Chain A
Amino acid sequence: MDNTSHSAVDALRDSYLGGPGGVMGWFRSTDHKRVALMYLAWTAAAFVMAMILAMLPLMMALGGGDFERRMLTQVITYQRLIQVMGWMVPVLPGVLGFFLLPLQLGARNMALPVLSRLSLHFHVIGLLLLLASQIICPIGTGWTMDSRLAMLEPGAFEVLLVGLFFMAMSWMLTGINFVVTVHHGRRQEMGFFDMPLTVWGMYVYGYLLIFSGAVFAAVALFMTASRITTTGLFGWEADPMVWRSYFWFSIRPVAYFALIPGVGILSDLISGISRRTSPGYRLLVGSMIALAGLAVASSGVALIGRGLDPGSSLVFSFFSLLVLIPAALIGFTWLSTLYRGSITLSPAAFFALGFLLHAGIAVGMGMLLASPSLGSYLGTSLFASAQLDYILWGGVMAALLAGLHFWWPKMVGRNFVAGVANLGAVLYIVGLNLALVPRVIMGTQGVPEDAIGLVSGFLAQAQVSGLGWLIVYSGLGVTAGNLLASIWSGDAAEVNPWGAVTLEWTVPSPPPEGNFDG
């Protein structure tokens, strides 16, 4: 026992975690693993903040109080902004992308290490400005920030927009870093079609990060100018459809298709727990590329029912329905990997099931929203908002937690308690569906997505949903507590618990600073 803990201390001292300590040691670090851990801390903090904000409408649903409408709109606005811009888009590339890309490619670090640090700093600056705008004077326009409303709202909207500019720049820099690292950081003998699927997912999503980040950064600046002068591209005289179009075609690809890196992560993970390589490697790569293309081609589907003309609605309906094809291929390949595998029922496997369920529901809801006659009825209802929740809370969260439970021993060198993690997974999956199904039904009943507070006639649905959220919160609390506790009280982790063949499992847990130097 003494011996193990002693060698664990040695392992820690020799690893990337044992480098220069203190705030400055971490702040100045350009090591991809440290950047990933800092991304984990910042995204987790942002998500907890969004969860706290969501408590207010939650308490209202459960009968805990009656809040002023003005306060509710502000709370809901910032909750969504933090969740989408500060968590949903950067979390998978920021945490698992930065940690795994060099390790899986056999590289010492990202190709552009200073850019890794800059991505993180821009993200943090953006997040702090977003929170500053909330403290100075919050806005209540909803997270889509309609241009006419934006001209009228009091509040520190300019501060928020500059924050969003920094976040978008951070996405773009991350994307550039991923693409360059894949092209120049690979081991010499590793071809494009030898790369692990996680790398493929991050690489493909990297292009979307560059596209959306660059465009949205510009859009945010134009909006700042219009806000100050009330003229210009998004000014008072402008057609409100101009802002809606720019906003959705820049944000929708990167937000609604934040599942692409999740597909890569889950593909590696399912291979890992099944102890075999995927039988449909090239199909999965092709599916992820197709999803990235369709992410851009289908972006206008968000405008159906929001003033888009009927002809364009049909075009975007068509491209949106094409998403079914890569989604079906991915599902089939995963099932084929599991079939006759040698499967370890670990917490990662339960979170992977959660991803399959939630992403499947999100794709199915996307099919309903893309069907022409239904889309114009459901497109701006709570149904559409619940679909975003299934992607965000369901898909991206499940992919993150599955990935963390799969690679956590490699990241910190300690094992968590599997039973507690399983409990967290079950609470999270059951709670989330209890929370979201009533909202889906309220949506088909016609309740609009921007309904504020309790809608009369739907008290029972709101209460079931509120109870579901409480279960989700407790599940996430158990999960996070278990992971954190493992850092102090976990057993030392093995080098390769899965018998996996990808390169990150060849280095010690946790890896040394140069990854493959030792």
Chain B
Amino acid sequence: MGSANLSAWFPEWASTFAPGVDMVFYDLYFVGLIVLILTVGLAVTFMFAFRRRSGDPEQVPAGGLNKCLLGAWMLGTIALGGFAFMAGLGEFVDSTVPPYDSYAIDITTREGAWDFAYPGGYVADTLRVPTGKPVLLALTSEDISRQLAIPAMRVQQAVLPGRTTETWFEPITPGTFPIYSGTFSSVRYDSLPVAMIALSEPDFASWLAAASDIFAGRTMAEVGEFLYVAQGCKACHSLDGSKLVGPSFKNLYGHEAVSTDGRTRKVDAGYVKESVLSPNAFVVEGFQGVMPTFDGKLDDRKIEAIVAYLESLSDHGEAGPQEDK
């Protein structure tokens, strides 16, 4: 076993943790293997060397324990246990405290989906990380408990509902590394993100810039639809005319709106922009002023896209939201 290729035991070293974790394993593994071979080997040897021979008495004297040998054996055991505890302690403490300048990716999972949210607000369904800097993964689940393991980084962590767990690592080489995730369940199939892609820092930056550009390849109305989902407008504003926490977006644009204090206003680009940035300036009758401001989250261009999306949902007249009420 000693001459066996060590790489049979672990995947490649692709993070700064890997050498430390592997070395502790190999140290303990080789010492443990020697002790095991010694113990079992001695037992086998004794069984053959001290076989019962004709003429042996019915019972042989009990004998005693060799005190010196016992002392050495126990000291060795305590030293091995102490080493097992201390050797990985520094690594372990490091692994629980992510550095301040970590690149943080928020990971949320639910049935059938893993969302990877990057610091700029871009949400992807694959995990890409930059090499050469610490990456912090903040994990949470919206339904059941799962595990997320990235063996090449030597990390694995529980993904739990109602909690945020953290793990961090620093990738050292670009490449594609397997991820194991999911849960032991017969009904809730997970779409597994099967790989993590590590990119060099310039590659990562250009990938993120390109991926985050939501305007590329989309009409303004399509961008608006994307934002409607991504920014969570969906939760309070329906598309089919039904009344949720806020007014439906169906047939809203171009119609008259009445506020709680009796003012009337036509829904146009200026109105939409005001509603997005300072929602409580004009609260529509029949609703409460609970909408948060999106000031700082949506720039003018994105608001234009939302306007275009609302336009596409409206018939500009006839049956307006007022009659719906």
Write the residues of chain A forming the contact surface with B, with a CB cutoff of 8 angstroms. 69-70, 73-74, 76-77, 139-142, 146, 148-149, 152-154, 239-241, 274-280, 283, 305-307, 310, 313-314, 317-318, 321-322, 324-325, 328-329, 331-336, 338-345, 349, 353, 356-357, 360-361, 364, 367-368, 370-377, 379-381, 441, 444-448, 450-452, 457, 499, 501
Contact = CB atoms under 8 A, between A and B. Distances in A.
Nearest to B28: A368
A275 B185 contact: no
Q: Which 10 A-B pairs have the closest CB atoms?
A: A446-B151, A140-B186, A373-B88, A142-B184, A372-B92, A450-B184, A373-B91, A307-B158, A338-B46, A328-B77
A374 B21 contact: yes
Contacts of A313: 92
Nearest to A350: B47
B95 A360 contact: no
B93 to A, nearest CB: 8
Interface residues of B, number: 84
A477 B95 CA distance: 48
B3 interface: no
A343 B47 contact: yes
B62 A276 contact: yes
B50 to A, nearest CB: 5
A314 B39 CA distance: 29
Given A69-B189, A353-B44, A356-B39, A148 B161 contact: yes
A328 B73 contact: yes
A371 B43 contact: no
Contacts of B143: 148, 152
A321 B87 CA distance: 13
Contacts of B60: 274-276, 340-342
Contacts of A146: 144-145, 183-184
B291 interface: no
A356 B87 CA distance: 27
Nearest to B88: A373
Contact of A73 (B29, B80, B184): B184
B40 A340 contact: no
Contact of B77 (A74, A76, A283, A324): A324
B40 A374 contact: no
B148 to A, nearest CB: 9
B185 A140 contact: yes
Contact of B187 (A153, A277, A340, A344): A153
Given A142-B184, A377-B156, A446-B151, A310 B92 contact: yes
B63 A279 contact: yes
A447 B147 CA distance: 11
Interface string B27-60: 0110011011001101110111011110011111
Contacts of B180: 446-448, 451
B55 to A, nearest CB: 10
A305 B158 contact: yes
A276 B59 contact: yes
A505 to B, nearest CB: 12
A268 to B, nearest CB: 14
B156 A446 contact: yes
A307 B21 contact: no
Interface string B47-91: 110111100111111111110011001100110110011011101
A42 B156 CA distance: 40
Contacts of A342: 50-53, 56-57, 60
B24 A373 contact: yes
Contacts of A499: 58-59
Contacts of A275: 52, 56-60
A356 B43 contact: yes
A367 B10 CA distance: 18
A376 B91 CA distance: 11
A240 B180 CA distance: 21
Q: Which of A76, A357, A446 has most B Cβ within 10 Å?
A: A446
Nearest to B51: A343
Contacts of A305: 147, 156-158
A357 B35 CA distance: 11
B29 A368 contact: yes
Contacts of B66: 336
A73 B145 contact: no
A69 B156 contact: no
B145 A148 contact: yes
A100 B7 CA distance: 48
16 contacts: A70-B186, A148-B143, A152-B144, A152-B185, A306-B158, A307-B145, A317-B85, A339-B50, A340-B63, A342-B53, A345-B48, A364-B36, A367-B81, A372-B91, A381-B156, A446-B180
B163 A307 contact: yes
